[in-house]
Structure 1
Amino acid sequence: MATVHQWTGLEARALRLALRLSVRSFASHLGVGIRTISKWEKLLAATEPRQDTQAILDTALARADVATHLRFETFLSETGRTCSMGGRRTTASGPMAWEHESWTDDLERAVVALSRQDFAFGEALIRRWLGRFKTTALDDKGLYLFARSTTLLGDLQRDQGAVLGPLSAQYSYASAKSLFGQLGIHRRVAQLDLSLAVVAEMSGRLEVAARQYESLAVDDRLSRRDQARARLWVGTALSKDGNHSYASRVMLGATRDFEDLGEPEDWSVAHQKLALAHRGAGDLTNALHLIDIARRTAVTDVPMQRVRLETAHGHILLSDPATRDDGLTVLDRAARLAGRFGLSHQLASIEGIRAMSEGASRLRRR
């Protein structure tokens, strides 16, 4: 949230607009005269309220709700682009110091929103900054925030299933990678290489994804946790490509890495991936054992992960004619949850599993 260190008529007008009050109502809200408000509106940055009125404005801003704060920051940024200075007018093209703070706060809120699959709110927070500045007008801090915003936009697009094209995760990740490269932040560049490998896997380019994952699993630019994730995803790509036995060995190594690193969430996800690899190899007993471990040890209630767990569980149950009805029930539950949160890629995956099961069932009946 923005903090005003010294109020002028410019900030006061932005607060009035954010509160959606008329001049008369705003004067009543603050307990000052209408002529005082009119003076602020006329002179803007060329006038400063008295110290006691500064405190009144501080209180009014502090008591405003989140939506009002967002509008205030937007109005102030837009009207603050052009301000009076010594009878001349100058236009600022980059963010002001307080905007860096507000931008950082919004990115933290966007991360939480995306973790809860609140895509509409998360996208609003991200795009309000991406649409405000041109990268050529930003200093290094602003460029870093722009790159982080673009990365988060890619995460949002990926989770919604938009992986290819000009309005996709692939495009956003590539743009963010270029910006981080410009800043010389090699760890972020490597993380985006990892995200681009995920996009390749999601779009069906399994051999390409596996090669990229293998390279990143030993990339010193990445943390040990990200290296272990890359190793796990090598196994995921291999399993999707039908190489289940080798995939299981690779995933088992990654699972041990997560245990050594003390990463319970990744450890649980690794068991989910291992379960699917064993299902693909026809080992349903071990597959059910591993998915049960994943479901019991999941340490997050994030909708995306719940859908993935339910989908994996349903897929395994569908593989045995004796538990096929149970599998359909679990997949229906996963589909409802995916639909509720707009997880289109997961919905497509569930429909693909159903179709494959229907085809196998028809073959058995012949």
Structure 2
Amino acid sequence: MATVHHWSGLEAHALRLALRMSVRGFAQHLGVAERTVAKWNKLLESTEPRPDTQAILDTALARADAAVHLRFETLLSEAGRPEAGPGRRVTASGPRAWEYESWTDDLDRVVVALSRQSFAFADNLLGRWLGRFNPAELDDKGLYLFARSTALLGDLQRDQGAVLGPLSAQHSYVGARSAFSQLDIPRRIAQLDLSLAVVAEMSGRLEIAARHYETLAVDDRLSLRDRARARLWVGTALSKEGNHDYAARVMLAATRAFEDLSEPDDWSVAHQKLALAHRGVGNLDAALHFIAIARSTGVIDSPMQRVRLDTAHGHILLSDQATRDDGLHVLDNAAKLAAKFGLSHQLRSIEGIQMTSEGAPGPRRR
């Protein structure tokens, strides 16, 4: 919480505004004359309350809730007080209690924003905190929030298709993993290992990704759901390598795990992956069966999942000359949605499918 070493009319005025009180109400709250409060408002730093009134102001600030402290420090920041150098009146070591609370709330908002592909909003929220503190100066709670923020930044970059490089998902995930290792939180470390395996898959290092997924699928540091996801992604990597039969068997095991865990969205995604694996071996009837299940189950309330489903559906339809035109139409709509929400990785995938399909006759259904 904020501490005022020596009150002037400026801090007293900021506290009144932070408490959202009128001059009369603030005077009554403190037990001072209205003309005293009016003097603070007018003269600001040019006047100072008496010592006994300073103590009253200390008590009023100490009893205020976190929201008042936030408004109080914001008002002083806008007035230039926190940067006043050696004479700074308001101090605190590291993040204050209200900052931890606000930071945590903002991270919850980031999760929601990412689920809706509101990338600009999520980036703004994360930047608010990642640029505010030096991680080397944070206590364990602050470092945990910093690590979570960095991991979510990695999710944002991954969803936008920034996979490798200094401003990429891989860079952010490595930084978050280092922070969680410093805090010795095994579950979070394993989750970052899983995210880094996804990055390896997205960047085309399929054999490395599959090997990491296989290890994580039996890693006790992860929850049962995360282990099932790793098993599903083993199948995804294998399918991309062309090993469709084995991939389908692995994915089916993951599908059963999601059913046992009562995870309908993951169960739906697993059927989408199964559909693509069956398309890979030319079993289009099975592929259409599984993609129909994927499209009719789960909660499809995010542009990302809609694009992924439509991309898979369009890919399958393209594989049969009888439904080729329908497939092109579905992929075209998926590309427009991906472009609208800045899903560059998905857009590149769609464009790759479209280019590959040009002039290439697909197998008939069997």
Question: What's the TM-score, normalizing by structure 1?
Answer: 0.82
Tell me if the contact between 1:210 and 1:238 (Cα under 8 Å) persists in the aligned partners.
Answer: yes
Distance 1:190 1:153 in 2: 17
Give RMSD over aligned pairs.
3.8
In structure 2, the CA distance between the partners of 1:188 and 1:43, relative to structure 1 (3 Å rule), is farther
Out of 71, 74, 86, the residue aligned to residue 72 of structure 1 is: 74
Q: Which residue of 2 aligns with 1:227?
A: 227
Q: Residue 215 of structure 2 aligns to a residue in which SS?
A: helix
Deviation of the 1:123 alpha carbon:
0.6
Tell me if the contact between 1:288 and 1:316 (Cα under 8 Å) persists in the aligned partners.
Answer: yes
Q: Which residue of 1 aligns with 2:310?
A: 310
Q: Quick check: 224-233 or 36-45, which moved more?
A: 36-45
In structure 2, the CA distance between the partners of 1:326 and 1:82, relative to structure 1 (3 Å rule), is same
Q: Quick check: 292-301 or 160-169, which moved more?
A: 292-301
Tell me if the contact between 1:317 and 1:324 (Cα under 8 Å) persists in the aligned partners.
Answer: yes
Deviation of the 1:79 alpha carbon:
4.9
Deviation of the 1:320 alpha carbon:
0.6
Give the number of aligned pairs.
343
Distance 1:309 1:344 in 2: 16
Q: Which amino acid aligns with 2:278?
A: H
Larger Rg: 2
Q: For structure 1, list consecutive stretches of 5 or more residues without a partner in the other structure.
A: 20-25, 63-67
Q: Which residue of 2 aligns with 1:36?
A: 40
Deviations 1:142-178 (A, max 9, x none): 0000000000000000000000000000000000000
In structure 2, the CA distance between the partners of 1:173 and 1:81, relative to structure 1 (3 Å rule), is farther
In structure 2, the CA distance between the partners of 1:358 and 1:129, relative to structure 1 (3 Å rule), is same
What percent identity do the matched residue pairs reach? 64
Do residues 115 (structure 1) and 119 (structure 2) align?
no
Q: Which amino acid aligns with 1:255?
A: T
Do residues 209 (structure 1) and 209 (structure 2) align?
yes
Distance 1:34 1:217 in 2: 67
Distance 1:289 1:74 in 2: 62
Q: Residue 222 of structure 2 aligns to a residue in which SS?
A: coil
In structure 2, the CA distance between the partners of 1:90 and 1:271, relative to structure 1 (3 Å rule), is same
Q: Residue 358 of structure 2 aligns to a residue in which SS?
A: helix
In structure 2, the CA distance between the partners of 1:356 and 1:10, relative to structure 1 (3 Å rule), is farther
Q: For structure 2, list consecutive stretches of 5 or more residues without a partner in the other structure.
A: 28-33
Deviation of the 1:333 alpha carbon:
1.1
Q: Which residue of 2 aligns with 1:284?
A: 284
Q: Which amino acid aligns with 1:159?
A: D
Q: Which residue of 1 aligns with 2:351?
A: 351
Tell me if the contact between 1:232 and 1:254 (Cα under 8 Å) persists in the aligned partners.
Answer: yes
Distance 1:246 1:44 in 2: 78
Q: Which residue of 2 aligns with 1:171?
A: 171
Deviation of the 1:82 alpha carbon:
6.7
Deviations 1:106-162 (A, max 9, x none): 111111111111111101101111101101110000000000000000000000000
Q: Which residue of 2 aligns with 1:65?
A: none
Question: What's the TM-score, normalizing by structure 2?
Answer: 0.82
Distance 2:16 2:271 in 1: 52
Tell me if the contact between 2:2 and 2:96 (Cα under 8 Å) persists in the aligned partners.
Answer: no
